[in-house]
């Protein structure tokens, strides 16, 4: 019996159990959420109904008093939004889920945004050993569920290391086998981060060959594409490349944190061009979706932003040797100067994380260059000699953000992590406050749909993303009057407000805004089609 049939059978069994008891006495549920405005996760208006939970399932939606429902525990949600737990379509939470510290595994930063499921293994980083990670993490317990991609980058590094070369026939077969292993162990597709070395050294054909292993098993091809602005081949050519990979591999394309991160025209026409390219591909039969975060600054490593890829061939030690070679350094500085100019100047580059160089956090590259009386490119090299900081790049335009947000194939993500950029702590309340309440770009039901049901549908997360009878009980109660972001680029780890109760797999993880100590999150493993993993 496959996972979907097991889900249906379990849901039916729970419903039959409650229905049978109702013939003799009022039906009993574990948790009853009453009086709230329930957003189902679909594109439909909210309803004032009660929601009953039994075990890890939703077993009742309606008028509890009229139906004679009694409950071991009731939650009064009058005046509140009751929504499906949000599914973060692209998040860097692997280290937290794998942590030995239960406070880290709680993922409080996500729960206080309403997120109950985290899609990890993104940007090509997903470990091919999907089953082993899932088993260990589930046994330890986590505050939220997690689903994973297998990573092209992790695969390539395992086989080729950091070298800028193509695999030979035998090595390519090894890479394909690792992708197949990840898919057969429950990954939802293959992720790539072609912007980053050493993944950037891969040809389109190499990626197609590996992505085909995901495609033949019904998985997605998720990508941080080769260029999101004007760094190398340009975002237009890069987007067309990703569409080609999807078409030839047979894997539906998902464009992670889709944006124009440098060189964007200020009137929104840059994103309009990309939207037209995506819609052309969709009309041609290619399945394409995307996610986005609601910030005008991206976040990446300073090395990825400022140092040309050829200088990263062989990894960090090889790069540091090139810094000490006069001719190589001159070339690096010239190309780095161009990179800064393409992002509007070094004043647009803010250091957000700098292990071992904490005094640099919150400083702009332009400030440091002026203070040290050197060029911004020289400042970048000086910083990178001492470590590998992260930077925020303020180059995404508001018209681009709003245009992409309106597309029916765009869903939401944070692309966040535990430190650095405030998106890790505040993306979902920022979406609600800025784009539902203030700007009116989206209705509340569209916001909820793009944060839950649409993500579940895209990935094939069975029984998640909706408030429906028989579905899993991942539910969040939000006070719309206080659901607001607090994190900023100066204080990026401030927790958001307004999330009152969070239920994961039927268990309260957050009650009245406070952790209960429960860690009921699960690994959500995908079942590949029959016969594809024999």
State phi, psi for 480 to the nearest 5 degrees: -65, -20
> Which sign does the torsion angle of CA 288, 193, 203, 395 carry?
positive
Read off the pLDDT band of 344 (50, 70, 90): confident
CATH of 151-255+257-296, one of 1.10.1790.20, 3.90.1170.50, 3.20.20.100, 3.20.20.140: 3.20.20.140
- What pLDDT was estimated at residue 21? 38
Bond prior to 290 in cis (omega within 30° of 0): no
Instruction: Please write the tens of the pLDDT for every residue from 219-259.
Output: 999 999 999 999 899 999 999 999 999 999 999 999 999 99
- What pLDDT was estimated at residue 337? 95
Model-level pTM greater than 0.85? yes
pLDDT, mean over the chain: 94
Upper half-sphere CA count for residue 534 (Cβ side, 13 Å): 4
- What pLDDT was estimated at residue 26? 52
The pairing of strands 475-478 and 189-193 is: unpaired
For the chain, give every residue range classified as CATH 3.20.20.140. Answer: 151-255+257-296
User: In the structure encoding, which two tokens stand for residue 161, read together?
Assistant: 């290391």
213, 183 Cβ separation under 8 angstroms: yes
Instruction: Please write the tens of the pLDDT for every residue from 376-430.
Output: 999 999 999 999 999 999 999 999 999 999 999 999 999 999 988 999 999 999 9
For the cut 70, the answer to whether the pLDDT of residue 482 exceeds it is yes
The 3-class secondary structure across 511-522, one letter per residue, is ECCEECCCCECC
Read off the pLDDT band of 5 (50, 70, 90): very low
Lowest mean pLDDT among 100-114, 303-317, 440-454: 303-317
For the cut 70, the answer to whether the pLDDT of residue 4 exceeds it is no
Give mean pLDDT, residues 65-71: 96
> Which sign does the torsion angle of CA 96, 98, 103, 108 carry?
positive
Strand partners, 120: 148
SS3 content of the chain, % helix, strand, coil (to 5): 40, 20, 40
> Which sign does the torsion angle of CA 115, 117, 120, 122 carry?
negative
């Amino acid at each position: 019996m496959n996972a979907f049939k097991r889900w249906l059978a379990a849901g039916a069994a729970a419903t039959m159990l409650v229905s049978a008891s109702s013939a003799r006495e009022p039906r009993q549920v574990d948790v009853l959420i009453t009086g709230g405005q329930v957003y189902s996760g679909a594109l439909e208006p909210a309803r004032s109904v009660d929601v009953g939970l039994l075990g890890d399932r939703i077993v009742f939606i309606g008028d509890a008093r009229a139906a004679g429902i009694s409950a071991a525990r009731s939650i009064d949600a009058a005046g509140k939004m009751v929504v499906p737990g949000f599914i973060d379509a692209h998040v860097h939470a692997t280290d937290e889920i794998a942590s030995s510290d239960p406070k880290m595994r709680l993922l409080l930063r996500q729960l206080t945004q309403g997120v109950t499921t985290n899609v990890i293994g993104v940007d090509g980083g997903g470990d091919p050993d999907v089953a082993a990670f899932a088993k260990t993490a589930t046994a330890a317990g986590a505050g939220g569920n997690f689903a994973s991609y297998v990573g092209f980058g992790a695969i390539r590094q395992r086989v080729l290391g950091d070298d800028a070369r193509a695999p030979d026939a035998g090595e390519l077969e090894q890479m394909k086998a690792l992708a197949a292993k990840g898919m057969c162990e429950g990954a939802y597709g293959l992720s790539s981060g072609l912007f980053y070395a050493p993944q950037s050294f891969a040809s389109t054909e190499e990626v197609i060959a590996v992505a085909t292993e995901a495609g033949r098993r019904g998985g997605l091809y998720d990508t941080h594409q080769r260029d999101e602005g004007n760094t190398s081949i340009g975002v237009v050519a890069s987007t067309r490349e990703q569409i080609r990979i999807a078409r030839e591999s047979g894997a539906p394309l998902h464009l992670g944190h889709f944006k124009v991160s440098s060189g964007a025209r200020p009137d929104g026409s840059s994103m309009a061009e990309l939207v037209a390219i995506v819609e052309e591909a969709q009309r041609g039969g290619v399945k394409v979706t995307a996610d986005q975060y609601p910030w005008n600054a991206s976040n990446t490593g300073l090395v990825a932003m400022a140092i040309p890829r050829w200088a990263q061939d062989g990894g960090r030690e090889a790069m540091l040797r090139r810094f000490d070679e006069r001719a190589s350094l001159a070339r690096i500085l010239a190309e780095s100067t161009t990179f800064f100019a393409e992002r509007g100047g070094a004043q647009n580059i803010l250091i957000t994380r700098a292990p071992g160089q904490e005094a640099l956090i919150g400083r702009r590259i332009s400030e440091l260059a002026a203070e040290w009386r050197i060029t911004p490119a020289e400042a970048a090299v000086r910083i990178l000699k001492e470590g590998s900081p992260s930077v925020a790049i303020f180059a995404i335009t508001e018209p681009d953000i709003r245009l992409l947000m309106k597309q029916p194939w765009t869903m939401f993500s944070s692309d966040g992590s535990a430190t650095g950029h405030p998106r890790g702590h505040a993306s979902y309340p920022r979406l609600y406050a800025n784009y539902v309440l203030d700007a009116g770009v989206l209705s509340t039901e569209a916001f909820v749909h793009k944060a839950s049901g649409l993500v579940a549908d895209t990935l094939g997360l069975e029984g998640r993303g909706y408030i429906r009878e028989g579905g899993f009980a991942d539910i969040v109660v939000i006070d719309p009057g206080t659901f607001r972001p607090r994190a900023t680029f100066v204080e990026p780890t401030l927790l958001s407000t307004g999330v009152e109760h969070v239920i994961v797999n039927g268990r309260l993880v957050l009650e009245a805004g406070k952790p209960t100590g429960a860690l009921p999150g699960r690994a959500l493993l995908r079942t590949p089609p029959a016969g594809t993993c024999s």
